[in-house]
Amino acid sequence: MNQKVNSSMLTLLLCVATPSSFANTTFTANNDQSTDSSALAQVAGYPLVTEADYLNDIPVILTATRMSQPVNTAPASVTVISREMIDASGAQEIGDLLRLVPGFQVGYFNGISMSLAYHGFTGNYDRRLQVLIDGRSAYMPFLSTVEWLSLPLDISEVEKIEVIRSSNAPVYGSNAMQGVINIITRKSFEDEGFMLEGRWGTHDITGVDNDVRNLQWTNFKNKLDDRKYLLRYANSFYEFDYRVTLGYQKDLGFDNVFDTKKLNLIHVNSQYQLNARELLDVQFGFRAGDMNTFADGSAEEPNRNKSVDSQYQSVSWSQAQADGNELKVHFYHNYYDQDDEVRITDSVFNVGYGIDGYGFGVYYGTAERFDLEVEKIITTDYNIRMIMGVGLRLDRIKSKYLLNTKGFIKDESARVFSNVEWHLTDRVILNGGLMLENNEQIGNYYSPRLAVNFIANDEHVFRASVTRSTRTPSLLENNIDVGVRTDSGEKLYTSHISATNLKPERQDSVEIGYMFNSRNQDLRLDTKIFVERLRDGILEASNYDLPDEPWVWGNNTWADIQGIESQLFYKPHRRFFINLSHSRTSTKGNWHKYDNRTDGKKPSDWDISNSVPKDTFSGLFSFAISQSIDWSFTYYFMTEMNWLQDGNIVEEHDRLDTNIDWHKKLSVDSNLSLIFTLQNMLSDYVEVRDETVFKQRAFLKARYEW
């Protein structure tokens, strides 16, 4: 299998070494929800702030510094997943798209939950990646992660995803310790009219020896256990644009795993141009329904159904000002609730406590986040552009089974941040960023970054940066207290608990990058070498020498990761493109067993360096067979990886998907599309746990727009 990766990387290097002079491809940032001051300034009639001529056709991003900038002036490595790539990939869920990004690991923990990591060292819940939707954090303090399969957003509404592949805590704070994923939705006016879409699929299409060569129509027809329906309407009314999306989804999850789900979706996206300078953006989303809990089915932890309620409300106001300056105010509220409470009798538990029963529900609780942020972009006469901002946040969670409390536990925090971009010369750009934060749990902490970009000429750019990031313990990590209690609240024993005096995680990162952009933008290469040093990592640990002791959340993990990452986008013709990504790492790391022995001996550590795969690779190949048919293939490869916590060691595996998109314009205002996706045409493999075996999957999607 390594030969496959090596040959692919050889192809990549050959492409880089070959001069290119093919058709031009245009990329814009017009669809980004983050505020683009130059675009607003143009609407307001103010002169645009222009870069040198050699930057004119280079893709523009907004996530790296919160300011619109050509990608080669960004102080960090960036991957942009465009709508073109989203369609070609055949991905059915938003989280699956991150498989295309160098250094990312994505897997299904079960049919209702995804595990996602950048440079590994995580389990079923990752806490070191900031996930934004149009600039709004999707992080939920209930389980200190992002519930990807419960997001109040459908993949069809995503215009592009900007991924900052390095620590961006100096810009977005604690949760951006390893990077930022900014999901940018389509503007309402881009989808005017109605859209009706249906999807029918199966998670096991072959039925005979799990071999795709045994593909038969009856196997597909009789196993349509995955269904999704969408209805969307978008329109404009004077200066008001809006889009309403309604959806329903149902699937049975993995074979022999209790993980089915039924979810309903409502999502509203609207923009109101108050005047030539001011824009008001209002969004709200709701996704709710029933899921199973992926319990082990034992008498002590029976399978059970849970209800899920995930919703948000967001209001953003922005004002374009003279000389490229801009002011923005953003408020949002996230809400997440899960209810999986079950009653278990003493006779079932069989421990002789002499009680009638007790309540149990690991995924039982409520979380909320209220966030207000004000930021201002300032452009000076000294080739300096900067952003300054302040923010206030309230996180609160309650769960009588996770936290041993009936009321809310809260964390109030404040932050002040700034990023300065200084064009020292026509070729040298300095970036400095700093985030100062304060919360009730830790107090004051900070995250700085310094970066320099050297633009050798219109094709070659070199970048170097150093970052120190701090991640404060989450509310759950600081307060977890899981155990068996009587109905009156008396604790019988504890299974999981937080260590006292948890310290923040710290990570120091250094990277040196190189970017190549051909003059006509048909070939783009971004590669970097990096070193990351994680200390005081927070993870739950148990002392297996004393099995009756509880799992303890503490600062018990460290890691040193170094490696090289590359991504290449090649589009020699408007009907054909290739996107390749590769990451190779060398890792050292330990997970300390919690020192709760009473005999004076020290417990041994676990070497968990294999929790970062040595190699990951993806290749997306897309071409238009005709004006009506697009055909694409996507290949993924990953070496062995140990998913921590509740995960398992996953062996080296690869996967090949194909996607065929037939579309036809029926009239001036109507279009019909039929899309067939076949996932994993190779052998079955395990995603995160031994139970989550990914077999051959097939999906048929029909879409009518008018």
In this predicted structure, the answer to whether residue 308 has a pLDDT above a threshold of 70 is yes
| Max Cα-Cα span within the chain | 81
Q: pLDDT of 458-483, one tens digit each?
A: 899 999 999 999 999 988 888 888 87
- Exposure of 11 in the CB half-sphere (CA atoms within 13 A): 16
Among 317-326, 603-612, 628-637, top mean pLDDT goes to 628-637
| Tokens at 345, concatenated | 């009798």
For the entire predicted model, the pTM comes to: 0.88
- Of the two residues 211 and 438, the one the predictor is more confident about is 438
As a whole-number percent, the residues of the chain with pLDDT over 70 amount to: 81
Q: What is the mean pLDDT of residues 563-578?
A: 95
Please name which of 466, 480, 532, 477 lies closest in space to residue 503, comparing C-alpha atoms.
477
423-428 own/partner pairs: CB under 8 Å, 24+ apart: 423/383, 423/384, 424/383, 426/52, 426/455, 427/454, 427/455, 427/456, 428/452, 428/453, 428/454, 428/455
Q: What is the mean pLDDT of residues 560-584?
A: 96
Residue 513's pLDDT band (boundaries 50, 70, 90)? very high
Q: pLDDT of 219-265, one tens digit each?
A: 555 567 889 999 999 999 889 999 999 999 999 888 888 889 999 99
Q: What is the mean pLDDT of residues 81-104?
A: 96
Q: pLDDT of 644-697, one tens digit each?
A: 878 889 999 999 999 999 999 999 999 999 999 999 999 999 999 998 999 999
Q: Which residues contact 460 (CB under 8 A, 6 or more apart)?
A: 514, 515, 516
Q: pLDDT of 45-74, one tens digit each?
A: 333 334 333 344 578 899 999 999 999 899
Please name which of 1, 267, 277, 296 lies closest in space to residue 150, comparing C-alpha atoms.
267
Mean pLDDT, rounded, of the chain: 84
- Of the two residues 551 and 614, the one the predictor is more confident about is 614
In this predicted structure, the answer to whether residue 596 has a pLDDT above a threshold of 80 is no
Q: Which of 244-248, 360-364, 668-672, 699-703 has the lowest mean pLDDT?
A: 360-364
Among 128-142, 411-425, 542-556, top mean pLDDT goes to 411-425
Q: What is the mean pLDDT of residues 581-601?
A: 77
| DSSP notation for 514-541 | EEEE-TTSSEEEEEEEEEEEEEEEEEEE
Q: What is the pLDDT of residue 533?
A: 96
| Tokens at 693, concatenated | 């075996």
Q: What is the pLDDT of residue 41?
A: 37
* Domains recognised in the chain with CATH numbers: 2-293+305-339+363-705 (2.40.170.20)
Phi, psi dihedral angles at 620 (to 5 degrees): -115, 120
Characterize the bridge pairing of strands 193-202 and 697-705: antiparallel
3-state helix/strand/coil string of 127-140: CCEEEEECCEECCE
Please name which of 520, 494, 187, 135 lies closest in space to residue 332, comparing C-alpha atoms.
135
- Exposure of 153 in the CB half-sphere (CA atoms within 13 A): 25
